[in-house]
Structure 1
Amino acid sequence: MSGLLRIRWAIAPAIAPRPLINCNRCGGVRPYRCSGKFRVNANGKRIDAWLIYRCTGCDNSWNRTILERCNRRDIDPVLLTALESNDPELMRRHAFDAAALRSRIGRIEEFSDVTVRKELLDRRPDCATALWLELRLDAATPLRLDRLLGGELGISRSRLQAWEERRTLAVEPDGAKNLRRPPRDATAIRIDLAGEPDRDAIVSAACG
Protein backbone atom coordinates (compact mmCIF):
# COMPACT_ATOMS: atom_id res chain seq x y z
CA MET A 1 0.00 0.00 0.00
CA SER A 2 1.25 3.47 -0.82
CA GLY A 3 2.63 5.49 2.08
CA LEU A 4 1.10 8.74 0.78
CA LEU A 5 -1.59 10.24 3.02
CA ARG A 6 -3.89 12.73 1.26
CA ILE A 7 -5.70 15.28 3.44
CA ARG A 8 -7.87 18.27 2.63
CA TRP A 9 -7.61 21.29 4.91
CA ALA A 10 -10.63 23.58 4.72
CA ILE A 11 -9.39 26.96 5.94
CA ALA A 12 -11.74 29.73 7.00
CA PRO A 13 -10.66 33.17 8.25
CA ALA A 14 -12.11 33.74 11.71
CA ILE A 15 -12.25 37.56 11.84
CA ALA A 16 -13.49 39.71 8.97
CA PRO A 17 -11.24 42.54 7.76
CA ARG A 18 -12.13 45.96 9.18
CA PRO A 19 -12.14 49.24 7.26
CA LEU A 20 -10.22 52.09 8.86
CA ILE A 21 -12.51 55.11 8.74
CA ASN A 22 -12.41 58.62 10.15
CA CYS A 23 -15.10 58.49 12.83
CA ASN A 24 -16.77 61.87 13.39
CA ARG A 25 -17.81 60.82 16.90
CA CYS A 26 -14.43 59.53 18.10
CA GLY A 27 -12.56 62.31 16.31
CA GLY A 28 -10.03 60.11 14.51
CA VAL A 29 -9.47 57.02 12.39
CA ARG A 30 -11.01 53.92 13.91
CA PRO A 31 -11.54 50.32 12.75
CA TYR A 32 -15.15 49.47 11.93
CA ARG A 33 -16.40 45.92 12.47
CA CYS A 34 -19.01 44.18 10.31
CA SER A 35 -22.35 44.07 12.12
CA GLY A 36 -23.59 41.03 10.20
CA LYS A 37 -26.63 43.00 9.06
CA PHE A 38 -27.75 44.31 5.68
CA ARG A 39 -29.93 47.34 5.14
CA VAL A 40 -32.24 47.38 2.12
CA ASN A 41 -34.09 50.48 0.98
CA ALA A 42 -36.71 50.66 -1.79
CA ASN A 43 -37.52 53.94 -3.51
CA GLY A 44 -40.18 53.10 -6.04
CA LYS A 45 -38.67 50.47 -8.32
CA ARG A 46 -35.12 51.37 -7.28
CA ILE A 47 -33.31 49.29 -4.67
CA ASP A 48 -30.31 50.23 -2.54
CA ALA A 49 -28.58 47.77 -0.23
CA TRP A 50 -25.72 48.17 2.22
CA LEU A 51 -23.70 46.03 4.62
CA ILE A 52 -23.62 47.84 7.96
CA TYR A 53 -20.38 48.36 9.88
CA ARG A 54 -19.96 49.74 13.41
CA CYS A 55 -17.13 51.76 14.92
CA THR A 56 -15.28 49.66 17.50
CA GLY A 57 -14.95 52.75 19.70
CA CYS A 58 -18.42 54.30 19.76
CA ASP A 59 -20.71 52.06 17.63
CA ASN A 60 -21.19 54.76 14.98
CA SER A 61 -22.38 53.19 11.71
CA TRP A 62 -20.92 53.12 8.22
CA ASN A 63 -22.80 51.64 5.27
CA ARG A 64 -20.87 49.69 2.63
CA THR A 65 -22.71 49.78 -0.69
CA ILE A 66 -23.80 46.42 -2.09
CA LEU A 67 -26.49 47.62 -4.53
CA GLU A 68 -26.98 51.20 -5.67
CA ARG A 69 -30.11 52.47 -7.41
CA CYS A 70 -30.75 49.09 -9.04
CA ASN A 71 -34.04 48.39 -10.77
CA ARG A 72 -35.92 45.69 -8.88
CA ARG A 73 -36.54 43.72 -12.08
CA ASP A 74 -32.78 43.50 -12.67
CA ILE A 75 -32.08 41.95 -9.26
CA ASP A 76 -32.11 38.19 -8.79
CA PRO A 77 -35.05 37.50 -6.43
CA VAL A 78 -32.90 35.00 -4.52
CA LEU A 79 -30.29 37.70 -3.91
CA LEU A 80 -32.90 40.22 -2.79
CA THR A 81 -34.42 37.70 -0.37
CA ALA A 82 -30.95 36.93 1.02
CA LEU A 83 -30.26 40.63 1.58
CA GLU A 84 -33.60 41.22 3.26
CA SER A 85 -33.18 38.18 5.55
CA ASN A 86 -29.52 38.89 6.49
CA ASP A 87 -28.43 35.59 4.98
CA PRO A 88 -25.25 34.53 6.87
CA GLU A 89 -23.55 33.01 3.82
CA LEU A 90 -24.07 36.14 1.71
CA MET A 91 -22.95 38.34 4.58
CA ARG A 92 -19.77 36.31 5.05
CA ARG A 93 -18.96 36.42 1.34
CA HIS A 94 -19.07 40.22 1.36
CA ALA A 95 -17.56 40.73 4.82
CA PHE A 96 -14.49 38.58 4.11
CA ASP A 97 -13.81 39.98 0.63
CA ALA A 98 -10.75 42.00 1.63
CA ALA A 99 -9.90 43.05 -1.94
CA ALA A 100 -13.36 44.55 -2.54
CA LEU A 101 -13.33 46.30 0.82
CA ARG A 102 -9.87 47.75 0.20
CA SER A 103 -10.93 49.05 -3.21
CA ARG A 104 -13.90 50.76 -1.59
CA ILE A 105 -12.25 52.34 1.46
CA GLY A 106 -8.47 52.17 0.87
CA ARG A 107 -7.13 51.21 4.31
CA ILE A 108 -8.21 48.06 6.12
CA GLU A 109 -7.16 46.03 9.15
CA GLU A 110 -6.66 42.29 8.51
CA PHE A 111 -6.34 39.35 10.89
CA SER A 112 -4.44 36.06 10.66
CA ASP A 113 -6.85 34.02 12.80
CA VAL A 114 -8.22 30.98 10.96
CA THR A 115 -10.06 27.74 11.64
CA VAL A 116 -8.89 24.58 9.90
CA ARG A 117 -11.13 21.57 9.26
CA LYS A 118 -9.19 18.44 8.23
CA GLU A 119 -10.57 15.62 6.10
CA LEU A 120 -8.88 12.43 4.92
CA LEU A 121 -9.31 12.00 1.16
CA ASP A 122 -8.30 8.32 1.09
CA ARG A 123 -8.08 5.44 3.50
CA ARG A 124 -5.20 6.05 5.89
CA PRO A 125 -2.18 3.87 4.99
CA ASP A 126 -0.71 1.51 7.57
CA CYS A 127 2.51 3.53 7.57
CA ALA A 128 2.30 7.07 6.18
CA THR A 129 5.68 8.24 4.91
CA ALA A 130 4.49 11.29 2.94
CA LEU A 131 1.74 13.91 3.18
CA TRP A 132 -0.21 15.51 0.38
CA LEU A 133 -2.19 18.48 1.71
CA GLU A 134 -4.89 20.16 -0.37
CA LEU A 135 -5.77 23.62 0.95
CA ARG A 136 -9.26 24.97 0.30
CA LEU A 137 -10.03 28.55 1.35
CA ASP A 138 -13.47 30.07 1.54
CA ALA A 139 -11.88 33.56 1.66
CA ALA A 140 -8.42 35.09 1.47
CA THR A 141 -6.27 35.25 4.62
CA PRO A 142 -3.08 37.26 5.33
CA LEU A 143 -1.68 34.28 7.30
CA ARG A 144 1.60 33.13 5.73
CA LEU A 145 1.78 29.54 4.55
CA ASP A 146 4.81 28.74 6.72
CA ARG A 147 2.97 30.00 9.82
CA LEU A 148 -0.09 27.95 8.91
CA LEU A 149 1.90 24.75 8.36
CA GLY A 150 4.09 25.32 11.41
CA GLY A 151 1.12 25.88 13.67
CA GLU A 152 -0.96 22.97 12.38
CA LEU A 153 1.89 20.43 12.15
CA GLY A 154 3.63 21.51 15.36
CA ILE A 155 6.99 22.24 13.75
CA SER A 156 9.21 25.29 13.33
CA ARG A 157 9.30 27.50 10.26
CA SER A 158 13.07 26.97 10.06
CA ARG A 159 12.45 23.23 9.73
CA LEU A 160 9.96 23.85 6.95
CA GLN A 161 12.56 25.99 5.21
CA ALA A 162 15.13 23.20 5.55
CA TRP A 163 12.67 20.69 4.05
CA GLU A 164 12.05 23.06 1.17
CA GLU A 165 15.80 23.46 0.55
CA ARG A 166 16.24 19.66 0.58
CA ARG A 167 13.21 19.38 -1.73
CA THR A 168 11.37 17.08 0.63
CA LEU A 169 8.67 19.77 0.75
CA ALA A 170 7.11 21.08 -2.46
CA VAL A 171 4.39 23.68 -2.95
CA GLU A 172 2.23 23.96 -6.03
CA PRO A 173 1.66 26.16 -7.89
CA ASP A 174 4.22 29.01 -8.27
CA GLY A 175 7.36 27.48 -6.84
CA ALA A 176 9.32 27.71 -3.61
CA LYS A 177 8.53 31.27 -2.50
CA ASN A 178 4.95 30.30 -1.62
CA LEU A 179 6.01 29.41 1.93
CA ARG A 180 6.45 33.10 2.68
CA ARG A 181 3.16 34.13 1.15
CA PRO A 182 -0.47 33.60 2.18
CA PRO A 183 -1.89 30.39 0.72
CA ARG A 184 -4.35 30.50 -2.13
CA ASP A 185 -7.32 28.27 -2.75
CA ALA A 186 -6.28 24.90 -4.27
CA THR A 187 -2.66 25.21 -3.09
CA ALA A 188 -1.14 21.74 -2.70
CA ILE A 189 1.79 20.77 -0.46
CA ARG A 190 3.67 17.48 -0.58
CA ILE A 191 5.97 16.58 2.33
CA ASP A 192 8.24 13.52 2.35
CA LEU A 193 8.52 12.32 5.95
CA ALA A 194 10.68 9.25 5.39
CA GLY A 195 13.44 9.23 7.99
CA GLU A 196 11.86 11.93 10.18
CA PRO A 197 12.03 10.75 13.83
CA ASP A 198 8.72 12.41 14.77
CA ARG A 199 6.92 11.31 11.63
CA ASP A 200 3.97 9.76 13.49
CA ALA A 201 3.37 12.95 15.52
CA ILE A 202 3.43 15.09 12.36
CA VAL A 203 1.02 12.72 10.59
CA SER A 204 -1.32 12.79 13.57
CA ALA A 205 -1.26 16.60 13.66
CA ALA A 206 -1.92 16.80 9.92
CA CYS A 207 -5.02 14.67 10.36
CA GLY A 208 -6.28 16.72 13.30
Structure 2
Amino acid sequence: MSGTLRVHWAITPKTAPRPLINCNRCGTVKAYCCSGKFRVNANGKRIDVWLIYRCVDCDNSWNFGILERCNRRDIEPALLAALESNDPALARRHAFDVIALRNRVGHVEEFPDVAVHKQRLGDTRESSTGLELQLRLEMPTSLRLDRLLANELGVSRSRLQALEERRLLIVDPEGAKALRKPARQGTTIRIDLAGEPDREHIILAAGG
Protein backbone atom coordinates (compact mmCIF):
# COMPACT_ATOMS: atom_id res chain seq x y z
CA MET A 1 0.00 0.00 0.00
CA SER A 2 1.29 3.42 -0.95
CA GLY A 3 0.33 6.47 1.07
CA THR A 4 -0.51 4.59 4.24
CA LEU A 5 -1.87 6.60 7.16
CA ARG A 6 -0.52 5.35 10.48
CA VAL A 7 -2.65 6.04 13.55
CA HIS A 8 -2.07 5.18 17.20
CA TRP A 9 -5.25 4.19 19.06
CA ALA A 10 -5.01 4.42 22.86
CA ILE A 11 -7.91 2.37 24.22
CA THR A 12 -9.23 2.81 27.75
CA PRO A 13 -12.07 0.68 29.16
CA LYS A 14 -14.80 2.78 30.78
CA THR A 15 -16.57 0.37 33.13
CA ALA A 16 -14.77 -1.93 35.55
CA PRO A 17 -15.76 -5.61 35.60
CA ARG A 18 -18.22 -6.59 38.33
CA PRO A 19 -17.86 -9.84 40.28
CA LEU A 20 -21.07 -11.86 40.62
CA ILE A 21 -21.39 -12.90 44.25
CA ASN A 22 -24.04 -14.61 46.35
CA CYS A 23 -25.27 -11.67 48.45
CA ASN A 24 -26.32 -12.82 51.90
CA ARG A 25 -28.68 -9.85 52.24
CA CYS A 26 -30.45 -10.19 48.88
CA GLY A 27 -30.42 -13.98 49.09
CA THR A 28 -29.28 -14.42 45.49
CA VAL A 29 -26.35 -13.79 43.18
CA LYS A 30 -25.77 -10.09 42.59
CA ALA A 31 -23.27 -7.91 40.79
CA TYR A 32 -20.87 -5.99 43.06
CA CYS A 33 -19.32 -2.65 42.10
CA CYS A 34 -15.92 -1.39 43.15
CA SER A 35 -16.18 1.40 45.73
CA GLY A 36 -12.71 2.76 44.95
CA LYS A 37 -11.83 2.40 48.64
CA PHE A 38 -9.22 0.19 50.26
CA ARG A 39 -9.40 -1.34 53.71
CA VAL A 40 -6.00 -1.57 55.37
CA ASN A 41 -5.75 -3.65 58.52
CA ALA A 42 -2.53 -3.74 60.56
CA ASN A 43 -1.98 -6.48 63.12
CA GLY A 44 1.41 -5.82 64.62
CA LYS A 45 3.92 -5.93 61.77
CA ARG A 46 1.50 -7.80 59.50
CA ILE A 47 -0.75 -5.95 57.08
CA ASP A 48 -3.83 -7.08 55.17
CA VAL A 49 -5.36 -5.00 52.37
CA TRP A 50 -8.70 -5.38 50.60
CA LEU A 51 -10.47 -3.43 47.87
CA ILE A 52 -14.06 -2.87 48.97
CA TYR A 53 -16.97 -3.77 46.67
CA ARG A 54 -20.68 -3.04 47.19
CA CYS A 55 -23.78 -4.92 46.08
CA VAL A 56 -25.56 -2.93 43.37
CA ASP A 57 -28.92 -3.39 45.12
CA CYS A 58 -28.43 -3.46 48.89
CA ASP A 59 -24.94 -1.93 49.33
CA ASN A 60 -23.70 -5.02 51.17
CA SER A 61 -19.88 -5.08 51.20
CA TRP A 62 -17.45 -7.66 49.86
CA ASN A 63 -13.68 -7.46 50.27
CA PHE A 64 -11.38 -8.32 47.38
CA GLY A 65 -8.02 -9.37 48.84
CA ILE A 66 -5.00 -7.40 47.60
CA LEU A 67 -2.35 -8.18 50.25
CA GLU A 68 -2.50 -10.91 52.89
CA ARG A 69 -0.40 -11.07 56.05
CA CYS A 70 2.41 -9.02 54.50
CA ASN A 71 5.25 -7.75 56.63
CA ARG A 72 5.21 -3.95 56.69
CA ARG A 73 8.92 -3.92 55.81
CA ASP A 74 8.17 -5.75 52.55
CA ILE A 75 5.74 -3.08 51.34
CA GLU A 76 7.10 -0.03 49.54
CA PRO A 77 6.30 3.11 51.57
CA ALA A 78 4.82 4.79 48.48
CA LEU A 79 2.53 1.81 47.87
CA LEU A 80 1.39 1.73 51.48
CA ALA A 81 0.68 5.46 51.36
CA ALA A 82 -1.33 5.01 48.15
CA LEU A 83 -3.37 2.23 49.74
CA GLU A 84 -4.05 4.22 52.88
CA SER A 85 -5.08 7.31 50.88
CA ASN A 86 -7.34 5.37 48.49
CA ASP A 87 -5.29 6.38 45.47
CA PRO A 88 -7.77 6.39 42.51
CA ALA A 89 -5.25 5.12 39.94
CA LEU A 90 -4.25 2.20 42.15
CA ALA A 91 -7.87 1.32 42.90
CA ARG A 92 -8.67 1.45 39.18
CA ARG A 93 -5.77 -0.84 38.32
CA HIS A 94 -6.96 -3.49 40.78
CA ALA A 95 -10.63 -3.02 39.84
CA PHE A 96 -9.83 -3.80 36.19
CA ASP A 97 -7.77 -6.90 37.03
CA VAL A 98 -10.40 -9.28 35.66
CA ILE A 99 -8.08 -12.30 35.88
CA ALA A 100 -7.56 -11.83 39.63
CA LEU A 101 -11.30 -11.33 40.11
CA ARG A 102 -12.10 -14.51 38.19
CA ASN A 103 -9.58 -16.44 40.24
CA ARG A 104 -11.32 -15.26 43.39
CA VAL A 105 -15.04 -15.52 42.53
CA GLY A 106 -15.26 -17.44 39.25
CA HIS A 107 -17.97 -15.41 37.52
CA VAL A 108 -17.41 -11.80 36.46
CA GLU A 109 -19.58 -9.43 34.44
CA GLU A 110 -17.53 -7.56 31.84
CA PHE A 111 -18.38 -4.44 29.83
CA PRO A 112 -17.17 -3.67 26.30
CA ASP A 113 -17.47 0.13 26.41
CA VAL A 114 -14.19 1.92 25.76
CA ALA A 115 -12.80 5.38 25.03
CA VAL A 116 -10.44 5.63 22.05
CA HIS A 117 -7.88 8.43 21.77
CA LYS A 118 -6.54 8.65 18.22
CA GLN A 119 -3.16 10.14 17.34
CA ARG A 120 -1.97 10.42 13.77
CA LEU A 121 1.64 9.41 13.17
CA GLY A 122 3.19 11.41 10.33
CA ASP A 123 1.62 13.85 7.87
CA THR A 124 0.16 11.52 5.26
CA ARG A 125 -3.59 11.94 4.80
CA GLU A 126 -4.95 13.25 1.50
CA SER A 127 -2.91 10.76 -0.52
CA SER A 128 -3.61 7.83 1.80
CA THR A 129 -4.90 4.66 0.20
CA GLY A 130 -4.52 2.55 3.30
CA LEU A 131 -4.53 2.49 7.08
CA GLU A 132 -2.21 1.12 9.71
CA LEU A 133 -3.84 1.14 13.16
CA GLN A 134 -1.63 0.49 16.18
CA LEU A 135 -3.56 -0.53 19.30
CA ARG A 136 -2.39 0.29 22.80
CA LEU A 137 -4.60 -0.85 25.66
CA GLU A 138 -4.43 0.69 29.10
CA MET A 139 -6.04 -2.50 30.43
CA PRO A 140 -7.56 -5.64 28.90
CA THR A 141 -11.05 -5.32 27.41
CA SER A 142 -13.70 -7.84 26.36
CA LEU A 143 -14.59 -5.73 23.29
CA ARG A 144 -14.19 -7.78 20.11
CA LEU A 145 -11.80 -6.39 17.53
CA ASP A 146 -14.43 -6.33 14.78
CA ARG A 147 -16.83 -4.38 17.00
CA LEU A 148 -14.09 -1.90 17.90
CA LEU A 149 -13.20 -1.33 14.24
CA ALA A 150 -16.85 -1.13 13.14
CA ASN A 151 -17.68 1.41 15.85
CA GLU A 152 -14.67 3.62 15.23
CA LEU A 153 -14.49 3.43 11.42
CA GLY A 154 -18.22 3.57 10.74
CA VAL A 155 -18.36 0.35 8.71
CA SER A 156 -20.21 -2.91 9.20
CA ARG A 157 -18.64 -6.01 10.70
CA SER A 158 -19.64 -8.00 7.61
CA ARG A 159 -17.66 -5.59 5.46
CA LEU A 160 -14.63 -5.96 7.70
CA GLN A 161 -14.95 -9.74 7.36
CA ALA A 162 -15.14 -9.39 3.57
CA LEU A 163 -12.02 -7.20 3.53
CA GLU A 164 -10.20 -9.79 5.61
CA GLU A 165 -11.25 -12.60 3.27
CA ARG A 166 -9.86 -10.62 0.32
CA ARG A 167 -6.62 -10.05 2.25
CA LEU A 168 -7.26 -6.30 2.21
CA LEU A 169 -7.44 -6.31 6.02
CA ILE A 170 -4.61 -7.96 7.92
CA VAL A 171 -4.32 -8.32 11.69
CA ASP A 172 -0.81 -8.61 13.12
CA PRO A 173 -0.12 -10.82 15.03
CA GLU A 174 -2.44 -12.87 12.86
CA GLY A 175 -4.50 -15.71 14.24
CA ALA A 176 -7.61 -17.75 13.57
CA LYS A 177 -10.72 -15.56 13.72
CA ALA A 178 -8.65 -12.59 14.95
CA LEU A 179 -11.47 -10.14 14.24
CA ARG A 180 -13.84 -12.07 16.50
CA LYS A 181 -11.50 -12.07 19.48
CA PRO A 182 -11.07 -9.26 22.03
CA ALA A 183 -8.81 -6.37 21.07
CA ARG A 184 -5.31 -6.95 22.39
CA GLN A 185 -2.36 -4.79 23.39
CA GLY A 186 0.17 -4.36 20.60
CA THR A 187 -2.11 -5.44 17.76
CA THR A 188 -1.61 -3.75 14.38
CA ILE A 189 -4.35 -3.69 11.74
CA ARG A 190 -3.53 -2.86 8.12
CA ILE A 191 -6.36 -2.05 5.70
CA ASP A 192 -5.99 -1.47 1.95
CA LEU A 193 -8.61 1.10 0.94
CA ALA A 194 -7.40 1.86 -2.58
CA GLY A 195 -10.55 0.56 -4.25
CA GLU A 196 -13.06 1.64 -1.61
CA PRO A 197 -15.48 4.47 -2.59
CA ASP A 198 -15.73 5.76 1.00
CA ARG A 199 -11.97 5.74 1.55
CA GLU A 200 -11.85 9.39 2.67
CA HIS A 201 -14.64 8.84 5.21
CA ILE A 202 -12.87 5.85 6.74
CA ILE A 203 -9.52 7.68 6.80
CA LEU A 204 -11.12 10.60 8.62
CA ALA A 205 -12.92 8.32 11.11
CA ALA A 206 -9.67 6.49 11.83
CA GLY A 207 -8.05 9.70 13.01
CA GLY A 208 -6.83 11.26 9.78
After TM superposition, is the score higher than 0.5? yes
The equivalent residue for 1:32 is: 32
The equivalent residue for 1:19 is: 19
The equivalent residue for 2:119 is: 119
Determine helix, strand or coil for the equivalent of 2:51: strand
* CA RMSD after TM alignment: 1.1
Determine helix, strand or coil for the equivalent of 1:134: strand
Identity of aligned residues (%): 69
Gaps of 5+ in 2: none
Deviation at 1:175, TM superposition (A): 2.8
Deviation at 1:126, TM superposition (A): 3.2
Deviation at 1:59, TM superposition (A): 0.4
TM-score by length of 1: 0.97
The equivalent residue for 2:165 is: 165
Deviation at 1:202, TM superposition (A): 0.3
Matches within 5 A, 1:185-200: 185-200=185-200
The equivalent residue for 1:103 is: 103
Equivalent pair of 1:170/1:176 in contact (CA under 8 Å): no
Residues paired across the two proteins, number: 207
Instruction: Provide the rounded CA distance (Å) in 1 between the counterparts of 2:141 and 2:109.
Output: 12
1:176-202 per-residue CA deviation (whole Å, 9 max, x = no partner) reads 521000011000000011011000100
TM-score by length of 2: 0.97
Gaps of 5+ in 1: none
Instruction: Provide the rounded CA distance (Å) in 1 between the counterparts of 2:21 and 2:138.
Output: 26
Instruction: Provide the rounded CA distance (Å) in 2 between the counterparts of 1:193 and 1:88.
Output: 42
Paired amino acid for 1:156: S
Determine helix, strand or coil for the equivalent of 1:203: helix
Instruction: Provide the rounded CA distance (Å) in 1 between the counterparts of 2:124 and 2:97.
Output: 35
Matches within 5 A, 1:1-208: 3-207=3-207
Equivalent pair of 1:164/1:176 in contact (CA under 8 Å): no
Which stretch shifts more, 79-88 or 120-129?
A: 120-129
Instruction: Provide the rounded CA distance (Å) in 1 between the counterparts of 2:36 and 2:148.
Output: 27
1:156-183 per-residue CA deviation (whole Å, 9 max, x = no partner) reads 0010001001101000113352100001
Which stretch shifts more, 112-121 or 170-179?
A: 170-179
Determine helix, strand or coil for the equivalent of 1:118: strand
Ranges of 4+ aligned residues in structure 1 off by more than 6 Å: none
Instruction: Provide the rounded CA distance (Å) in 2 between the counterparts of 1:114 and 1:79.
Output: 28
Paired amino acid for 2:158: S
Instruction: Provide the rounded CA distance (Å) in 1 between the counterparts of 2:178 and 2:14.
Output: 22
Deviation at 1:122, TM superposition (A): 1.5
